[in-house]
Amino acid sequence: MNRFTILMYHMISEPKTAAEVKYACRPKQFEQHLQMLLSAGFKPVSIDAVEDYYTLQKPLPDKAFLITLDDGFEDNYSNVFPILQRYKIPAVIYLATGLLGKTNQWMNAPTFSERKMLSWTQIQDMANHGIHFGSHTVTHPKLTELDDDRVSYELADSKQIIEDRLGAECRHFAYPYGLLTEKTRALVQQAGFKTACSTRSGFNNAERDPLMLHRIEVYGDDSTWKLKQKVRFGINDASLFFPLKYYSARLLARVG
């Protein structure tokens, strides 16, 4: 089957508020997700391999999956990096460059707790060990609410600083809040990005626009069976009844 799956995570640490349960996955749980994917025959690929798939038509393995982490939380270094190294799994982390070394100021307190963001030293260490980095703008704004000049600044400035700090071209982007219009997409292309992740759910294939890739959002408290169902059907919300509804709808479609 010519399709691949991109998984979206944010924080990999203990949730500290009720709202964080969706966005903060405990490290042990995250590791169990990876173990399940590997034992179910899924093959980890990098964002560069996804780019090559679109630009060079270089095939991806069957059941390919890509790990993405949005925002650049410090726990990506302390909790995620060792696990990814242990299993030799690549990943891409999308950085809001203006917030690095600071805290998650764009998230509302007290709904969300204050969290430290990655430092450049940590990012450079991970980059030296195979983790990829993409842009997630400078200030994590809603791009659809900004004028074109401001959008272009958010794209170009974050791209430039990542390139300066890591000494390599930054070709990957993720839209904050998954928000975009045709215009935003055009500006992302103009800025020189080759892939861009949205938050629309579902699988990707050769027909998908590489600047509007779909992702499956993994919630912090997803059990392994839930994740298994999500990657099987390409959905964000797993439930015990989903397969039943899915197959009976297909059966009805065939009968009707």
What residue ranges bind Zn ion (CB under 5 A)? 70-71, 176
- Give the residue with the Cβ less far from Zn ion, 70 or 154: 70
Joined tokens for residue 89: 């799994």
Rounded to whole angstroms, what are the CA distances from 172 to 136, 162, 254? 9, 11, 41
**Which of residues 70 and 222 has its CB atom nearest to Zn ion in the complex?**
70
Kindly tell me which of 69 and 84 has the beta carbon lying closer to Zn ion: 69
**What's the angle, vertex CA 178, arms to CA 3 and CA 74, rounded to 5?**
95
3-state class (DSSP) for residue 92: strand
CB of 132 to Zn ion, least distance (A): 17
Torsion over CA: 168, 194, 219, 246 (sign): negative
Q: Find the shortest distance in angstroms from Cβ 153 to Zn ion.
A: 18
How many residues are there in the chain?
256
Cβ proximity to Zn ion, 181 vs 205, nearer residue: 181
**How far is CA 144 from each of CA 108, 141, 179, rounded to the nearest angstrom?**
20, 9, 6
Rounded to an integer, what distance in angstroms lies between the CA atom of residue 169 and that of residue 216? Answer: 26
Residue 145, phi then psi, degrees to nearest 5: -100, 0
Find the shortest distance in angstroms from Cβ 136 to Zn ion: 6
Task: Calculate ∠ Cα 239-110-200, nearest 5°.
Answer: 40
Rounded to a whole number of angstroms, the minimum distance from the CB of residue 66 to Zn ion is 17
**Nearest CA among 109, 107, 89, 96 for reference residue 42:** 89
Closest residue to Zn ion, judged by C-beta, is 70
Of 73 and 77, the one with the shorter C-beta distance to Zn ion is 73
> Which of 71, 154 has the CB closer to Zn ion?
71
Beta bridge partners of 117: 73
Shortest distance, position 17 Cβ to Zn ion, whole Å: 17
Least distance to Zn ion from the beta carbon of 137, Å? 9
